Structure 1
Amino acid sequence: MRAIYWILPLLLIAILNAQDVQLTLDAVTADDATVEVVDLETVVVPVEMINQSWFTDRTGQAVIHFDSVVEAPESLPLGMRGLSFIDVDVRETPNSESGKAVAIVRFILRDTGIITFPALEFSSETKCYRTNPQQIMVGAAVRSKAMSVALNPAKLQVYVGEPLRVDLTWECDLDASRLQALNYYPSFFNDPTVEVVVPRSTEPDGQQVGLPIGGRRVIGKRILREGQPKALGTVTLPLYLRLAEPGVYTLPATRLECAYLQQVSRNFGQYAAHFNNSLFAAEESDAVYQRLFVETAPIEIEVLALPEEGRLPNFSGLFAPVHIEVAATPKALTVGELIQVELKVFADAPHGMIELPLLSRQRGLRGRFLVDDDMSRVWRADGTTFGGRLRILSTGVAAFPALHIQTFDPAIRSYSMLMTEPVALTVAPQDGQEFIDLKSYKGAAVTLTEQSGGIWHNREASRMNDLINNSVVCLGSWFWLWFFLLLGGFLLLLPIVRERRRRALNGKYRASSEAYAAFRKLAESDPAKWPAFLEFLAVSFGAEGQAWTVRDSQEALQALGVSAEDVESIIAHHHAADQQSYSVEHSPVQLSRLNGLAKRILGLLSKALMLLLAISALPEMVEASEWSEAEQLFDQALAAPAGSNSAAAMYAEAAHKFQAAAAAGQRPGEAWYNAGNAWFQTGALGRSIAAYRQARIYRPFDPMLTDNLNAARALSLNDVPVDSATWFPLLWLKALLLILCVLLAASLLMYFRYERRQWLIVCLVVLVICGLTLRLLYESVQMSGREGVVIVDSVIARKGPSYAYAAAFHEPLHDGVELVVRETRQEWGLVSLVDGRECWVPLSQVQLIY
């Protein structure tokens, strides 16, 4: 309790002290405020409006002069009806008679009618300047009866990507010199699905007029009216639209607006330049004018989708009518030299809407020219001229070939192929080099590598080549038949060889065999048949030159283990022979007809051999006319104009004929070789490489075939290295294995006959070679039908067996790329390129090598 008496006084003292401090602080703050408050002189200043005419969405300016230097207000009034301030700029003007400072206020008007410009305050060190509110009459654009504008499309139904001409027509009876600030900005100029191109004007200079349209400076055509030299007249401007999406597209209503001055301020076209007329000039702030407008009606356009049927991946995007003229210079040149090509395109489309597909995708150019796809474009009044450069790669080029460009004809609603005329060329070798490896070009630099010249002529049939090829084909194609015949022959010859061996080592057995042979030679009805048999028994049992009796036969045969039935038969033959020799009544001896049975068997074997030979000769008799027809077509293609479509068609047909002859077994090596030459002439490098590789199966040691294959590979577009591993032809391995089997069988037979060490060593050597050949044959069989070549212009390699998978590479695989099929799933194959990279491709676009 005593502590409370001490604490309460202390708390009261602390509270009183705190109140004194707060009162002191309030007094000090009041004194400071009294010192800061200073009365400023208020001065009303006028506002000078620069604009004489007021319209919505137009920037206005107000100027205020001060007799002293002022500061800009920290903020401007907000929320004003129909007016928004942009900024205020205060500048010192010490040398001006209007004052020492000026404020420029910029604002924009939003609504029509009477708008109040609010009061503004500015302050200096000694004065407060204040403006009075002002009222502004804001007008709106007025539809003019002296003007009209229209958009006239050439047709109301177009296809996606088809250029559509729309003519803009502006009719104006007003004085041209009083027109200013033309504003025509159609909304479809900013539509991402619509491409707008304004073509270059080709009208006479006296009729050209500059127009600000859609944010662009363009030139239209102006036609003056008779009797109204000052009127603007009729202005026309062609527009070209290209719509990107199918459906119904509506060209929205467009508004053309301009200022019409109350008084003439200058001439309409006071400068020589088309873009310096009064339509490009902004409204003058001190001029009195009114704004006039006219509008176009909305237009519906039906946009059709291009049909998918018949559309190629490299569709040009050109629409009929279109015509292309080709010129090439120089026309006489050497391999590797540049050639300038000029393509003149004539079409009902403006310069900006004419495009050509990449020349590098032209099949006729691939493999023959190194194409620079960076083409120049030159405007022409009737179209566009494209210029490009190409480099000749082979002396086999006789012309700049016809270009194939797919176009679409809206009149017939289908695609058509536009073909240009070929341009004849003369190409000579360069330093003896007849072609250049396409992969020797790195970027823009040209690096020529020495390559042996390819020889582009067909193989002619010869009897020696036919004999060799037919023998190899017969052995390889009928490998198992020949193998089992060889095995059967070996098994048949083995007893004979063993018999010969036994005769050579055992004189007694040799004498017995000779006696048996003499017995077999006699006819069954020959009386000497039985004595010959007895001689055989006597020689066999060591009684040569002695009489042989019934008892001798019985004892010898029983000792040998002959069956009792056979012994009784022999004894019966003895008695029959004795009766025939010593009795008056006797019957002829009946012996087995073994010779007739042997003769029938030999006849059957002879017939089987003849049938086999007939079957092996069938390929020569089937489709014998294919070869001659193919040769005739190839000769006709050589005589046709180089690079023409007719020549390409005949080369392709000749290639098919040669392939048919090869499939029928008619000179397959030469047929595949000639098919490769024919495909090469058409520019189909993939099919050419595939045909050459098929020919290599039958002609693996032909140096000319190797040169042709290397030349075709060198012109392939994709830079994928070619496998240089050792290659073994399957057909020749089969034939070699059969020959080695024959040698092995012969060596074994010789060893069984003489049993000498030399023949055993020969057998072992041949057996080792057979094993190695069999190993190579196994590997070749595993690869047969798995190696292939891309035969289409290009194919997108995928990351999976479907078109839904992403592309495996940025670039497509072009024809001529060689690959190996690792796995198949329905119509797709997992393939590996030579460099080890893998991807999935449709097997229909690959030709497999068997």
Structure 2
Amino acid sequence: MCGIHKNGAVAGDLLRAVCGALLAGAVAVGAEDGSDASPQAAPAARPAKEMDLQVDVSETEAVVDQPIIVTVTWTSRVPFKRCRRLLLDLPLLRGASLGVRAMEPGVPEARRIGLPVNGRRVIARRETIEGRGERIAFSFRIIPREPGGLPSEPVAMRCALIEGPAHEGRYPSYFDNHFFNGPESDESFERIYLSSPVPEVRVAALPSRGRTERYTGVAETVSARATVDPEDVRVGEPMLLTVEIAGTGYGPDLARIPEPVLGDTGPGFRVNPRPIREQSDGSRRSFTYVMRPVRAGLETVPALALQFFDPVAEEYKMVRTAPLTVTVRADGERRIYQPDRSGEAATVRAAEGIRGNRNGGGRHMDIYEALGALARYGWLCIPLPPLLWLVLRPAVRRRERCRRDPAYARALRAARRFRRRARSDEKAAWRTYLGERLNLAPEAVTFGNVSRELRRRGVDPTLIEAVGARFEQEDAERYAPRRMDVRRTPPRRELVGRIERATRAALLLILMLACHAGAAPGATPSPELIFDRAMELRTEEPDRARPLFEHAALVFEARGHYLNAGNSWFFAGRDGRALAAYRLAERRRPFDARIRESLAVIRARREDRFPEPESPGSGLAALWSRFSRWSPLLRGGALIAVYLLGWGVFIAARFAGRRVPRAACIAGGLVAATLLLSLLTSALQPPRGVLIRTAEARLGPGYAYDAAYESPLHEAVEFDWLGRRKRWVRARFPDGREAWLPASACLSITESVP
């Protein structure tokens, strides 16, 4: 024991304990008059037999992100007010991957006291044990962020114990008490130490299966609740969305709600992902966000789905808030909210928002699909009109000769008239046919005259003999006795057919098969059914609805139904993919009002605004600019249609014996030239691209280059796709600046979305 006497002063520092033993440094002793005295070795500290120290943990086998309560209980049979300059070291709290937070003692002010623990000030609860002394206890909540074992070195306590009664009533606050202050000059003390083992805690890694982007970093059972204030607003007015997670002791260690959870509010609302207020107590944590309705007519804020890990069941679970009822009214004539980030309000045409899908299950083909089919199979259509003209040219010449030579025309019509009249009187029709076909008068239709005409036309002699036999049979039937056997000859219909084949060449039959049938759906489920199921789940279970929307969107894109694909991406919260799909739908259906309104909603939701490009004005320039945005399929199909129409008019006019007017030829040529010029112009222009996720635009193709803008660009930004270098895309933005974007964040607006 080291005593402090009235005629001397001692200055000493207590050193840390090594392996549970307390080492004291040298004590410098000086006289009152200031003269130096030789240093003396201070006595070694003794174990504190009158005290007891115990460490308890709530879990010895835990998982990452699971809270563990560490409770330290210090019991003493001597008054705690005799302890000075306390040093309490708890290595368990020094883990590098731990989130450590002291817990509230939960007792009145009179029973609270401050302690130094690991160099930190901690408020503990103290109580008197009747007949056994005093007790101090404090707790920490630790959250392991990495798997492995936690430090298990013993807890060590060191202090100076005053001999005899201690001074009282001179410590006005928690952290200005006897534990923080040293002994007075007139107090004698001895150094004591105390250590206690710490239970070993093992932390296992969280399973990767079942974990989603909605995981909140909470590994305990919680509940969630959401509120919104006010509930009745105009479009674009701010609302406060408060999300409260109850049953968690994480407190400030729960940083924020994952952004995908905030996306559950749906496309009708914009939520700033940065909370404006955070509050927490022992068992609750709440975040307040600014939310704005994008369009009028909204009535419900969908449920928010959060994911946590249940360490008891050892699986991930979902907790959902209840849907909230709101009323969003139009702000005058404005029904769509478009944030103004440039200081100038942009004008957006009023729209009702995203409308329903287009039913693509039928076999009906509209004008857009017909033009697209012509463009796809144009290489088949281009050679057909000339070939058809070569085939039909003899028929055209025969028609012209028929108009000039009535006898020739009557001969060509002979077979048709025979088939029509043979039903009532085949014998008379046979003779009329021979007269018209061989240009003979009705009274001159005898075998002699018929055979002479047939030989003049080079008919096979066997056929002439069959015709003679037919004449003989008719004469025998007319003049011979009834019982006389008459030689049978080929029927008249057969002879007419043989004569027709022998006297003129047959026309080639051209069959043009131009049917456009959709691909069989196969085993893929109907995307319409998937979309409808997702719409049913969107309000109550948005986390389950989002994968269904994405699945439906991919199937719609594979089938070329880009309007439906855009709607699916929109409700899945993927504005960039939705904008790309709507742009493709607009190029294929430039006059569809639903597509234009959907594009207006998407562009109003964009977080990044660039200066609007200069308008081409009005008149021909605006018309040409609008026409150039049509899909190449539509313009190519229109060019093929004009080409086929021109040939059809030409062939029809030749059949009618007329000439095509020169004005019609010039008009058709101008239309075809305009379509061809627009296709050539589009081929020389760079394709358009869309940003499908947040990315940093850089001045070069690599992360080592400086950023091109002060902040990252968000999804749904449109740009010109100038080229690609490995994993980077060179882009030109609406403000005229060029930068490089990661290729994984970009999507080219082509005829097929990847």
The TM-score by the shorter chain falls in which range?
Answer: 0.7 to 0.9
Q: 1:288 aligns with which of 188, 197, 205?
A: 188
What does residue 340 of structure 1 align with?
A: 240
Offset of residue 389 of structure 1: 2.4
Offset of residue 698 of structure 1: 5.0
Matches within 5 A, 1:509-548: 511-518=407-414, 521-522=417-418
Question: TM-score scaled by structure 1?
Answer: 0.67
Q: Aligned pair in 2 of structure 1 residues 394, 745: CA closer, same or farther (>3 Å)?
A: same
Q: 2:223 aligns with which of 313, 316, 323?
A: 323
Q: 1:451 aligns with which of 342, 345, 348?
A: 348
Are the counterparts in 1 of residues 417 and 433 from structure 2 also a CA contact under 8 Å? no
Greater mean deviation of Cα atoms: 205-214 or 344-353: 344-353
Q: 1:416 aligns with which of 302, 310, 317?
A: 317
Structure 2: which 5+ runs fail to align?
1-5, 17-22, 480-485, 616-624
Matches within 5 A, 1:561-572: 566=459
Offset of residue 797 of structure 1: 9.7
Are the counterparts in 1 of residues 305 and 543 from structure 2 also a CA contact under 8 Å? no
For 1:833 and 1:578, the matched residues in 2 are separated by 89
Are the counterparts in 1 of residues 223 and 245 from structure 2 also a CA contact under 8 Å? yes
Aligned sequence identity (%): 22
Offset of residue 156 of structure 1: 1.6
> Are 2:84 and 1:184 equivalent residues in the alignment?
no
For 1:703 and 1:659, the matched residues in 2 are separated by 23
What does residue 709 of structure 1 align with?
A: 599
> Are 2:89 and 1:170 equivalent residues in the alignment?
no
For 2:101 and 2:225, the matched residues in 1 are separated by 24
Q: Aligned pair in 2 of structure 1 residues 843, 503: CA closer, same or farther (>3 Å)?
A: farther
Question: What secondary structure, in the 3-state scheme, does the structure 2 residue paired with 1:328 have?
Answer: strand
Offset of residue 627 of structure 1: 9.5
Question: What secondary structure, in the 3-state scheme, does the structure 2 residue paired with 1:51 have?
Answer: strand
Are the counterparts in 2 of residues 820 and 831 from structure 1 also a CA contact under 8 Å? no
Question: What secondary structure, in the 3-state scheme, does the structure 2 residue paired with 1:235 have?
Answer: strand
Question: What secondary structure, in the 3-state scheme, does the structure 2 residue paired with 1:593 have?
Answer: helix
Q: 2:398 aligns with which of 474, 479, 499?
A: 499
Q: 2:638 aligns with which of 736, 745, 762?
A: 736
For 1:244 and 1:283, the matched residues in 2 are separated by 41
> Are 2:138 and 1:276 equivalent residues in the alignment?
no
What does residue 212 of structure 1 align with?
A: 116
Larger Cα Rg: Structure 1 or Structure 2? 1
Residue type at the aligned position of 2:243: L
Q: Aligned pair in 2 of structure 1 residues 428, 280: CA closer, same or farther (>3 Å)?
A: same
Offset of residue 498 of structure 1: 3.8
Matches within 5 A, 1:795-834: 816=716, 833=731
Offset of residue 226 of structure 1: 0.9
Higher strand share: 1
For 2:402 and 2:611, the matched residues in 1 are separated by 65
Residue type at the aligned position of 1:517: R
Deviation per residue, 1:472-506 (Å, 9 max, x gap)? 576567666666665655444443334334555xx
What does residue 307 of structure 1 align with?
A: 207
Are the counterparts in 2 of residues 537 and 553 from structure 1 also a CA contact under 8 Å? no
Are the counterparts in 1 of residues 216 and 258 from structure 2 also a CA contact under 8 Å? no
Offset of residue 224 of structure 1: 0.9
Higher helix share: 1
Q: Aligned pair in 2 of structure 1 residues 526, 139: CA closer, same or farther (>3 Å)?
A: farther
Offset of residue 182 of structure 1: 1.0
Offset of residue 169 of structure 1: 1.4
Question: What secondary structure, in the 3-state scheme, does the structure 2 residue paired with 1:321 have?
Answer: coil
Deviation per residue, 1:442-487 (Å, 9 max, x gap)? 6xxx865332222244378799997656755765676666666656
Deviation per residue, 1:223-258 (Å, 9 max, x gap)? 112146xx5x11111112233432223232232111
CA RMSD of aligned residues (A): 5.6
Q: Aligned pair in 2 of structure 1 residues 306, 788: CA closer, same or farther (>3 Å)?
A: farther
Offset of residue 332 of structure 1: 0.6
Q: Aligned pair in 2 of structure 1 residues 594, 334: CA closer, same or farther (>3 Å)?
A: farther
For 1:818 and 1:417, the matched residues in 2 are separated by 36
For 2:272 and 2:612, the matched residues in 1 are separated by 23
Deviation per residue, 1:143-201 (Å, 9 max, x gap)? 11011223222112223343322111111222223221111243455553333221334
What does residue 75 of structure 1 align with?
A: none
Residue type at the aligned position of 1:748: F
What does residue 539 of structure 2 align with?
A: 644
For 2:679 and 2:502, the matched residues in 1 are separated by 42
Structure 1: which 5+ runs fail to align?
1-47, 59-109, 120-129
Are the counterparts in 2 of residues 652 and 678 from structure 1 also a CA contact under 8 Å? no
Offset of residue 760 of structure 1: 4.9
> Are 2:501 and 1:593 equivalent residues in the alignment?
no
Question: What secondary structure, in the 3-state scheme, does the structure 1 residue paired with 2:347 have?
Answer: coil
For 1:475 and 1:800, the matched residues in 2 are separated by 42
Are the counterparts in 1 of residues 114 and 123 from structure 2 also a CA contact under 8 Å? yes
Residue type at the aligned position of 2:87: N
Offset of residue 220 of structure 1: 0.6
Offset of residue 323 of structure 1: 2.1
Are the counterparts in 2 of residues 652 and 679 from structure 1 also a CA contact under 8 Å? no
Offset of residue 813 of structure 1: 7.2
Question: What secondary structure, in the 3-state scheme, does the structure 2 residue paired with 1:287 have?
Answer: coil
Offset of residue 777 of structure 1: 5.9
> Are 2:731 and 1:773 equivalent residues in the alignment?
no
> Are 2:9 and 1:51 equivalent residues in the alignment?
yes
Q: Aligned pair in 2 of structure 1 residues 272, 595: CA closer, same or farther (>3 Å)?
A: farther
Deviation per residue, 1:311-354 (Å, 9 max, x gap)? 33463212212222222211111112121233332244242322
Structure ranking higher on relative contact order (CA contacts 8 Å, 6+ apart): 2
Residue type at the aligned position of 1:393: V
Q: 1:138 aligns with which of 17, 20, 42?
A: 42
For 1:829 and 1:534, the matched residues in 2 are separated by 83
Question: What secondary structure, in the 3-state scheme, does the structure 1 residue paired with 2:630 have?
Answer: coil
Offset of residue 262 of structure 1: 2.2
What does residue 246 of structure 1 align with?
A: 147
Residue type at the aligned position of 1:342: T
Offset of residue 363 of structure 1: 1.9
Are the counterparts in 2 of residues 455 and 704 from structure 1 also a CA contact under 8 Å? no
Q: Aligned pair in 2 of structure 1 residues 684, 552: CA closer, same or farther (>3 Å)?
A: closer
Deviation per residue, 1:548-572 (Å, 9 max, x gap)? 99899989988xxx8xx64867986
For 1:112 and 1:658, the matched residues in 2 are separated by 75
What does residue 66 of structure 1 align with?
A: none
For 2:107 and 2:120, the matched residues in 1 are separated by 19
What does residue 762 of structure 1 align with?
A: 664
Question: What secondary structure, in the 3-state scheme, does the structure 2 residue paired with 1:234 have?
Answer: strand
Are the counterparts in 2 of residues 799 and 839 from structure 1 also a CA contact under 8 Å? no
Question: What secondary structure, in the 3-state scheme, does the structure 1 residue paired with 2:150 have?
Answer: strand
What does residue 699 of structure 1 align with?
A: 589
For 2:65 and 2:748, the matched residues in 1 are separated by 33
Deviation per residue, 1:623-672 (Å, 9 max, x gap)? 9x9699689769x84xx9xx72258867986897798689779xx6xxx5
For 1:630 and 1:384, the matched residues in 2 are separated by 36
Deviation per residue, 1:720-756 (Å, 9 max, x gap)? 7999964113553354234312321134326656898
For 2:198 and 2:602, the matched residues in 1 are separated by 59
Question: TM-score scaled by structure 2?
Answer: 0.74
Residue type at the aligned position of 2:215: F
Deviation per residue, 1:279-308 (Å, 9 max, x gap)? 121233553211111112254321222333
Offset of residue 576 of structure 1: 7.1
What does residue 289 of structure 2 align with?
A: 388
Matches within 5 A, 1:465-484: none
For 1:430 and 1:580, the matched residues in 2 are separated by 98
